[in-house]
Amino acid sequence: MAKKRLAVAVPASMIADTPHLREKTSKIGFIGRAAAIFRVDEIVVYPDNPQVNQRRDLELAATLLSYMETPQYLRKRLFELKPELQYAGILPPLRTPNHPLQSRIRDLRVGEFREAVAVSKSKEGTLVDIGVEKPAVIPQTQVALNSRLTVKVAGIGDRVEVQVADRNKISQYWGYTVSAERQSLSKLLEHRSFDLTVATSKFATRIQDASQRLGERWRKAHSILILFGAPARGLHEIAQDEGVNLNDLADFVVNTVPAQGTETVRTEEALFATLAILNVQFTNQPNA
């Protein structure tokens, strides 16, 4: 059975009203934590205001989310020192299975998976950093240097031997990927194929009133996208500015925080609330 994939789409403007980089970084930290806690496979950051150049916020969000998802032992190899990472130290650790704490060869187990970076070539094959004292080797395999890949420990001896693995076939949760979109929300949905698209809005049907129909679609879907708006401009406004109707873009438009006590719900707050509800409602269903 194909593994169900869950993606979320968040707007670049979710950090636009936060002036300082430290606070922007903290807010992104909540987004990454929510995604990891509820086993999100992909975070899509999309431009949501055509009147503003959102490139900097878009790239900042994508960079920090990618940095969070990268195991600590690979960050120095994959990320250059840049101003956007000035406050990366306040990002909370994800503690997902692809962020192992063991850093000694003696603690490795044959069959376990690791994230790796190809560091050099040798007569044995490609040497890769997997976060232990010595590089592991991928025998007889051509891998581009400095590229990140997922590997499986195949043997432990004088040299740790690993094999290239497909992260999508790992049964346990293996973190999220990040996509920084340049196209509008409507174009994103036009060019990306999802079996089920769910938009969130306070001007929508309560999720409990749509749960039966949504649950039926959820069980059958292999790829699911949950859409989030920004506090200042919800998904209805974002879609309207693009000349489309939100109800035509999404399969379901639901309110996951009915009777909210605040005027607005921030994107990171909506993410936690929505994913928690969907987790309780649907992840324990058959074929979920």
User: Phi/psi of residue 106, each to 5°?
Assistant: -65, -20
Q: Which residue has the higher pLDDT, 140 or 88?
A: 88
Average pLDDT of every residue of the chain:
93
Q: What is the pTM assigned to this prediction?
A: 0.94
Answer with the one of 166, 186, 218 that is the final residue of a domain: 166
Judgement on whether residues 91 and 140 belong to the same structural domain of the protein: no
pLDDT for 60-111, tens place per residue? 999 999 999 999 999 999 999 899 999 999 999 999 999 999 999 999 999 9
Judgement on whether residues 151 and 181 belong to the same structural domain of the protein: no
pLDDT for 286 equals: 45
pLDDT for 263 equals: 87
- Tell me the C-alpha to C-alpha distance, in Å, between residue 240 and each of 199, 234, 249: 14, 10, 11
Judgement on whether residues 145 and 209 belong to the same structural domain of the protein: no
Q: Inform me whether the pLDDT recorded for 43 exceeds 60.
A: yes
| Residue at 109 is within a domain | yes
Judgement on whether residues 56 and 87 belong to the same structural domain of the protein: yes
180/184 Cα distance (integer angstroms):
11
Domain containing 193 equals 5-95+177-282
Split at pLDDT 50, 70, 90, the class of 284 is: low
Judgement on whether residues 24 and 146 belong to the same structural domain of the protein: no
Judgement on whether residues 201 and 246 belong to the same structural domain of the protein: yes
Judgement on whether residues 12 and 91 belong to the same structural domain of the protein: yes
Q: Inform me whether the pLDDT recorded for 287 exceeds 80.
A: no
Average pLDDT over residues 219-226: 96
| Residue at 100 is within a domain | no
| Residue at 59 is within a domain | yes
Answer with the one of 133, 166, 199 that is the final residue of a domain: 166
